[in-house]
Structure formats: structure tokens, C-alpha cells
Structure 1
Amino acid sequence: MNETPRTLGRRSLLGALATPLLAAAWPALAQGHWPAGKTITWVVPYPAGGSTDILGRAIAVRLGPALGATVIVDNKAGATGTIGSAFVARAPADGFTLLGTSIGPQAIVPHLMPRMPYDAVTAFAPVTLVGTIPHLLVTAASRPWNSVAELLAQAKAKPGQLSFASGGNGTILQMQGELLRLQAGVQMTHVPYKGDTPAVQDVLAGHADCMFAPVAAALPHVQGGKLKALAVTSAVRQKALPDVPTMGQAGFKDFVVEQWQAVYAPAGTPAAVVQRLHGEIVRILKDPEVLAMADKLGVTLVGSTPQQLADTQKADLATWGKVIQQAGIKAD
């Protein structure tokens, strides 16, 4: 059938009317039928038991009732967090698959893997930056140095002989060690482990000279006198360790480094759904039980806007890309 100008005009008018109606329907859907009675999958790209997993489960168990739905946590570990992240990147953008992840797969690993299974920026819709985790530069109590300056003086006197441990290649723990090495102009040997715990244990045993460790992992050993904390990577001193200087106070003013935890949805998820998820998660982060749990994990809860998470990710992509290039770091 031939279209007349009048018919085309009528259809254009109907299309123009339908667009705002459909747009208006999403907020109603986000508030009502979505995702009532259905199941949301919260993907954690790491094994169970880590801080990302514990924090994700604490949010998920409260998010379900808030949305009138069921939220299940699915651990899809492997490839430094990229397997689970890739799963979410490929999922339908309907608000039923979420990613509870950390800085590694979103801002570090993209510079290390020659063939990333997703674009860390364009494949996801940021929901919120959940929180940040500072780190301590620690060494065994038996080691002779008592400050960052003394440690680096030894590193300069014995190039390449001192070692720093990390929880694995491509982790934020390695990146901090590389950043210190670059900024101080010293040669230190990186010793990667399969996780933070074995790395801390080998520093305790004196098999590695130092490392940047999450505050929660190192604090009991520091308080027990088995580890010495030389500095903290946050902008301000930690309440639990008021005598430990920040890296800035130790002479490295551009060394504020914190691991972050965040939530993403697949790119293209309706804005109303993202906003609903953001609002509910931010409310959950104010729950006294969640605050207490985060304190034990050494997490400072944030609850940022989606745009603030996007800005943080892009800034860290640039920062760690530069460090990886300057240090000549290669993937396994």
C-alpha cells in the first residue's frame, strides 16, 4: 500500500506520542512490576569468601526484599575476574543480571590482557561505587627498617635484592608495589602469590621483604606485633593505627591508592532500572549491620552516583595504564 503524506504524518505523530509514553512506562515498571517475583543474579567474579563476595552477599540478601524479588549470588571466578565480568557484559540489559566487582577487572586487567572479552567502559552501566579499601605497606617485625625511607634506602643500596609480595599478577597490590618502585626510582623484585593470604604469610615468615596489604588482612598481625606498618595508602591516617603515617606524609604526595568495590549492570540497562538499583543499594549501605560488617572488612562505604563511579573508573584506567606501561608489566 502506498503511503500518503497524511498517513505518514499520522504515523509520525503516533510515534512521537509513543516515545514519551514508553519512556514514562519505565519508571513505573522499575517501581512496580520490575522485578517483582523474579530472580536477579548478582555475579561475583571471584571465589567465595573474599571481601567482594562477602560484601556482595550482604547487599544481595537485603536487595531482594527491597525489590520484591529474589537475588542470588553466583561466583564466576577466574582469569583475574574477567570471566564473571564477561558473563555480565553478554547478559541481556534487562536489570536481571548484576556485577559486584572490584578495581582489577575494570581498571587494571584491561591493560594486561591482549584480547579482553569485553570493553571495561562501554560494556557496562555503572550503578554505584560501593566502597573503598586502603592498604598498608607492611614488613615483618624482624626486618630492620622502621619507615618507608629506611626500606627504600635499603632497596637503593641493594638493587633488585629486596622483594615485594602481592596477591597475584595484575592485582591492585602489585600495582602499588610497582608505583612505589617507579616513584622512588628503586629496583625491587615482585613475587606474586595466589591470593592475599599466602602473600601476607610469606611476608610474616620473612620470605618476602614487604607488601601492600589490605588493612583488614594486615591489622591483626600489626596489632599482634608480627608485622610493622610503615604507611597507609589512604588520604588520612587510619583510626585503628593513628601512629602510622600516610604515604603522602612519608614523602609520596601522589600516592593515594585504594581498592574499590562497585556494582554494574550490562550496558543498555534502562536508566530507571539503574536508578532504582542505585537508590536501594545506597539505602542498604546505611544499614547498621552492613556498616559493622564493612568496618570488619576494612571497607569505607561510599554509595556514589553512577556518574561518580564512571569517573573513578576512567581515572584509574588512565593511572594504572601508565604505571603498567612504565613498569613494563606483562600478563602471565
Structure 2
Amino acid sequence: MAGFAVALAAWPSGILAEDFPARAVRIIVPQSAGGATDTFARAIGQKLSERWKQPVVIENRAGAAGVIGTEAVAKAPADGYTLLVTYEGSQAINPSLYEKLPFDSIRDFEPIATIAVTPFLLIVGPQTKANTLQEFLTLARANPDKLNYGSAGNGSVNHLLGEMLKVEAEIRITHVPYKGAPQAISDVIGGHLDSAFASAPSVIASVRQGLVRALAVSSGRRVAISPETPTIAEGGVKDFDVNPWWGIFGPAGLSPSIVSKINSDVAEILQELDFQELLAKQGATPLASSPEEFRALLAKDIAKWAKAVKAAGIKMN
């Protein structure tokens, strides 16, 4: 009788995984159309639709640094038919930026699968007298508060990377927020700004054209899109490793069998050559992980970014 009870308890989740999805699945993207998050969501959505023989609809709900779209998923039914594709900047940074979030980034979500990672490059313009990270740090230490760096806005990954570098390298450089990364990159090119952190895909063309110099890459290892660029750790800032991820979440309480199915399907997609080529064009690298590994990664990154936010003294309403 006990064995029958155990089997009966296991039956619903097995059926759910076997039958899922039986209808259209909605993926909410908490950023605007056209960006990296939207690009990755549409690419993975198309692949999942082909596998599942069901429509996968992408819905952009931008606003409040990703909070609006993320909240919608947190409050959705935990049935697998509403998913979230987001990135480290929203899921791991917002808990420290906002005093009152309408959700908990860990407790209210089921981490399902990571998709990719994309590093950032520290760039300088032609007027900045530094050809290596070591020279840049030496210049900054000799001229405290004189050098500046641009970002996509207060609380952005670009901004916090600069704050992390300031803390870890013990330098003082001035932050200049812009309304978007392209404007900051443009001012580096034009000589109005000394430096900036920019995602590899957004700035690699300018690096290759010689409009800016890439002094270092934020990830712990060199990257294929710019293999000649050393890491920040190689430049003397020990253990510096920031390589923001993109991934898929569901509402808390989602059936483990559905989580496992989606994770397995995504892992297989990440091995497909055409998908890897799409990521490579974005300067991204596939990142496969188990749901448990993804949860641990999120918790680690929330703590990492909390340190940077505290150092920067940033709070958003």
C-alpha cells in the first residue's frame, strides 16, 4: 500500500513533464525589443517551439530596470506556460538597487536553465594615454578623480563594473552616466570621455576599426571575439571575473519534472551549431548548467553585486 502511495504521488509530475507543453508558451522579456536579452529569448524560443510543436510567444515588458516584466512572471501560475528570459543585470543587481522590490529574486522563481554569457570590455579613446590596463591604473592613481568613465546609466552593469574596478584596484575615477551605452561609446570615440565598460558585441566593431582601444575584458578568461585582449585579472586586479549571464526562470513552485524537461531541451539546443554561431555573432558563449547550479550562481552573483552597489552608494526608488 505504501508503494502504491509513493507511485501515486509521483504520477502527476511525470504526466506533466510528458505532456508539457500542450499549448502555447509565453516568454516574458523584461527588456526592450532589439537588445541582447530579446535576441537570445527569440532565438531560444524559436528552437523550443520547433521541439515542442507548440507556439512560443515572446512578450516584451520593459520598464523599471526589468522590474515590471520580472514581477509579471513572479505572479504568474506555476504551470510552465509563463517563463522569464532575463539576465544577470536584472535578476542579480536589482535586489541591491531597490529597497522594496515586489518579489524576491531567489524565493519567487525557479531557475531553469542558463543560456549564455557575454563579457564586457574596458575601452579607452585615442586621447587617453594608456595602452594597457596597468598603464591606465597607474595614470588613475597619479591623477585621482581626474579620469572618468561612462556607463549606460546609474545602476547599470557598465556602471557597477567601473565601481568594482575602483574598489578592487584602489583607484578614484569619476562616473559619468548616460541614457544608454551607445552614447558613452560615442563620447569615448570622440575624445569627450576617457573610458567606458561596454558589452563585447556593442563595441567590438569600434575596437577592430581602431576607434577605441580595448584594455581588458571583464571575464576571468580571454574571449574568442577579442582573443588578444587580456583579462582584468591578468592586468593585476586579482580574481576579477564578471561575465554576465542570460537564462530562463519560471515562477516558484514549478513542477521539478517540467524544470528538468526545459533544462534538458535547452542544453541540447546549446550544442547545435547554428545556435552557437548566433551567440558568437553577439559576442556570447553558450552556458549550460543544471537548475541547482543556476540557483547557486544567482545567489553568488546577488552577493557579488551587493558589494558593488554598496561601494557605489546607489539606491533606486
Q: Give TM class, smaller chain.
A: over 0.9
Aligned position for 1:28: 15
- Which amino acid in the other structure matches residue 26 of structure 1? S
Distance between the aligned counterparts of 2:227 and 2:67, measured in 1?
Answer: 37
What is the CA distance between 1:50 and its match in structure 2?
A: 0.6
Trace 1:1-332 onto structure 2 (pairs within 5 A): 17-18=4-5, 20-32=7-19, 34-36=20-22, 38-331=23-316
1:196-253: CA deviation from partner (whole Å, max 9, x where unpaired)? 2222122212222111111111111111000101111222223343332111110012
Equivalent position SS for 2:300? helix
Distance 1:240 1:95 in 2: 35
Give the number of aligned pairs.
Answer: 317
Distance in 1 separating the partners of 2:274 and 2:62: 27
Cα distance between partner residues in 2 of 1:59 and 1:239: 22
Q: CA deviation at 1:17?
A: 4.3
RMSD (CA atoms): 1.7
Aligned residues of 1:182 and 1:327 also touching (Cα < 8 A): no
**Highest Rg: 1 or 2?**
1
For 1:178, give the aligned amino acid: E
Which letter does structure 2 place at the counterpart of 1:42?
Answer: I
- C-alpha distance in 1, partners of 2:111/2:278? 24
State TM-score, norm by structure 2.
Answer: 0.95
**Within 2, Cα distance between the matches of 1:191 and 1:94?**
44
Deviation for aligned residue 1:143:
2.1
Kindly state the Cα deviation for residue 141 of structure 1 after the two structures are TM-superposed: 2.5
Structure 2 Cα separation of the partners of residues 64 and 25 of structure 1: 24
Structure 1 residues 320 and 277: CA distance shift in structure 2, 3 A? same
- The question of whether the paired residues in 1 share the 8 Å contact of 2:225 and 2:283 is answered with no
Query: Quick one: distance in 2 between partners of 1:63 and 1:241?
Result: 30
Contact (CA 8 Å) 1:203, 1:210: kept in 2 or not?
yes
Runs of 5+ consecutive residues of structure 2 not aligned to the other structure: none
Structure 1 ranges of 4+ moved more than 4 A: 16-19
CA deviation digits over 1:272-311, x for unaligned, max 9?
1111111111111222221111001011101211111111
Paired with 2:60 and 2:87, the residues of 1 have a C-alpha distance of 14
Q: Distance in 2 between matches of 1:203 and 1:20?
A: 63
What's the % identity of the aligned pairs?
37
Describe the SS at the equivalent of 1:154: helix
Return the letter of the residue paired with 1:192. Answer: P
> How far apart in 2 are the matches of 1:239 and 1:65?
29
CA distance in 2, matches of 1:305, 1:240: 26
Return the alpha-carbon distance in structure 1 between the equivalents of residues 194 and 106 of structure 2: 36
Distance in 1 (CA, whole Å) between partners of 2:283 and 2:290 is 22
What's the offset of the Cα at 1:179? 0.6
Q: Structure 1 residue 18: deviation in Å?
A: 4.9
Q: Residue 179 of structure 1 contacts residue 323 of structure 1 at CA under 8 Å; is this kept in 2? A: yes
Q: CA deviation at 1:59?
A: 0.6
Amino acid at match of 2:13: W
Q: Report how far residue 118 of structure 1 moved.
A: 0.6
Q: Deviations over 1:30-73 (max 9, x none)?
A: 222x222x111101110000111001100101112312321100
SS across alignment from 2:93: helix
TM norm structure 1: 0.91
User: What is the distance in 2 between the residues matched to 1:240 and 1:53?
Assistant: 21
Summarize deviations over 1:53-94 as a string: whole Å, max 9, x none: 001100101112312321100000011111111110000000
Cα deviation 1:152-190 (Å, max 9, x = unaligned): 222223322221111122222111100111122222111
* Residue aligning to 1:8: none
Q: Please list every run of 5 or more consecutive structure 1 residues that lacks an aligned counterpart in the other structure.
A: 1-12
1: CA distance, partners of 2:41 / 2:73? 15
The DSSP-based 3-state class of the residue aligned with 2:92 is helix
